[in-house]
Amino acid sequence: MTGYLLKMLALNEMRLRMRRLSTVVALLAVIVISWAILEDPAGGHALIVINGARVLYTSSALALGSAAMASMLFSLGGFFLVRGRIAEDIRTGAGGVIGATPVRNGLFLAGRWFGAVAYLGLLVLAVMATMMVCHALRGDGPIQPLLYLSTYCLILLPAIMFAASCAILFDSWAPLMGKGGDLLFFLIWIAQLSVMAFIESSGSLGSLWTVCDFTGLATTMSTLAGHFDIRHTSLGGGATFDPALAPLTLPAVPWTASVLAMRFASAVLAPLPLLAAVLVFHRFSPDKVKVSSARQRRSPLALLDGGLRPLSRLVQPLFALSARLPRWCGQVLADVALTLAASPSAIAALLAAAVTAALVDVRLLGPVLLACVAGWGILVGDLSTRDFQAGVEDMTGAVAGGGARRYLRQFGAAAVLGWMFMGVVALRFAVHAPLRAAALAAGIFALAALASLFGRCSRTPRTFLALFLFGLYVASQAVTVPMLDAVGFNGAATVPSVLAYLAIGIAALAGGYAWNRFRA
């Protein structure tokens, strides 16, 4: 009976997730990203480059390289895709019904976990299918589906298991249910990548520490080290190679017994956060998860907002000004004022960003801009979903202009907030580095449009937030790739990359507008 109930809970969880529009958005996003990381070698870039020589696009190389890159994405994005189901149960009132049933906490959370892992597994299969299509177009040698499947399972299964476990743990404990929990997991993800980089650099790839390598990156490097000298290795679509050097070939069956044992041990450890979730699960108890100001302030971010509440007075004139401005302009300014008033910590960050950008040397503006972009992206991620989360979406969509104008208003507010955070940097770039200023302008436009598009289509801020944080981290590491320098903080942007982001922004804005017009 218990096994049957667990099966039904997991299947229902997976079906509910697959029927969401956010799943379609996530699926399209992972397909586009998968296609983008596999560049044509004719352009001088390859997925894996070792000591200046590219590795041929055989099934083993494409499976290993793409699985490692997908693991970075799913180990972060999987958390945000899974997270939020319990909060949705509370919002819709289903939580009280679930809490009153005789189903045990462990069984309920295990059903959610199995359903989430199956859901992420289907997205992984979509990535694998995309890579096999790319192999047919750009690859070398025959396509080996079983080799792809075994590699993806070995690399990605512990990653998605750990991400799902952490998502359920963070949803089960009230202090971690808000945006503070999102930021905490992002720090955990970065720390994990940093630890794995240390293990790799210290020559401890075969040590027991690799058991904690849920992302599989250290395992990937260990596998490559068994066949090549990897002192100078690049992994990712932006890696450049020397065409004068003979290409390398990765053996068809690169896995050793020790690697298999390490990945199995990682998979065994990955569900440990789920055990902690069973112990701290609130079971939708009103005294633990009741939505109230007092309860919300228990998170560090909400505590900070509570302490900085007097700063909200600084935006009061914006409300008065918005009432005097005509139509769309006044609505945009009102949304900006509301966003800042609801998050006093954003006001403090905005003031700090403006002062710092005005005083530092122009050569240090890159790191300042990176911090500004990060803070702005986190702030505006939920701007386009705020009406839905507050239950007033139908009411705000009934005003003049309907949902389409609301979409444009939210896009405008996100863009204005971007200029408020990064306007000083843009002015200084305009004097000393005009191309970086143009990249910043195009980046603000594109990211604001994407935040509004993903938020309105998926009705959750975490679709944009996951992709944004992942892209920001990758861009901070690959500092010479123009297409990753969306806002110019690396100084690698070129005219084609600026125009590309401008086109992306126009397409996202037009697509979102058409979607909202259609739904209206």
Which residue, among 25, 478, 75, has the nearest Cα to 237 in the 3D structure? Answer: 478
At residue 204, the pLDDT reads: 55
Which residue, among 434, 461, 451, has the nearest Cα to 505 in the 3D structure? Answer: 451
Which residue, among 196, 197, 171, 195, has the nearest Cα to 184 in the 3D structure? Answer: 171
Contact 298, 174 (CB under 8 A): yes
Q: Which helix (H) or strand (E) holds 221?
A: helix 217-225
Domain boundaries, the chain: 2-282, 296-519
- The pTM (predicted TM-score) of the whole model is 0.69
At residue 393, the pLDDT reads: 66
Which residue type sits at 397? G
CA distance 309 to 329: 26
Residue 149's SS3 state is helix
Per DSSP bridges, beta strands 53-54 and 233-240 are unpaired
Paired tokens of 171: 């949803």
Backbone angles phi, psi at 239, to 5 degrees: -70, 130
* Backbone dihedral region for residue 35 (phi beyond 0: left; psi -120 to 50: alpha; all else: beta): alpha
**Ranges of the chain whose pLDDT falls below 70:** 1, 21, 195-209, 237-238, 253-254, 287, 289-303, 389-402, 519-520
Angle between helices 365-380 and 462-477 (to 10 degrees): 170
Alpha helices (runs of H) in 343-485, residue ranges in sequence order: 344-359, 365-380, 386-390, 393-397, 402-432, 434-458, 462-477
Contact 138, 203 (CB under 8 A): no
Contact 135, 62 (CB under 8 A): yes
Angle between helices 217-225 and 145-172 (to 10 degrees): 150
- Sheet containing 45-50: order of strands: 53-54, 45-50, 233-240
CA distance 254 to 252: 6
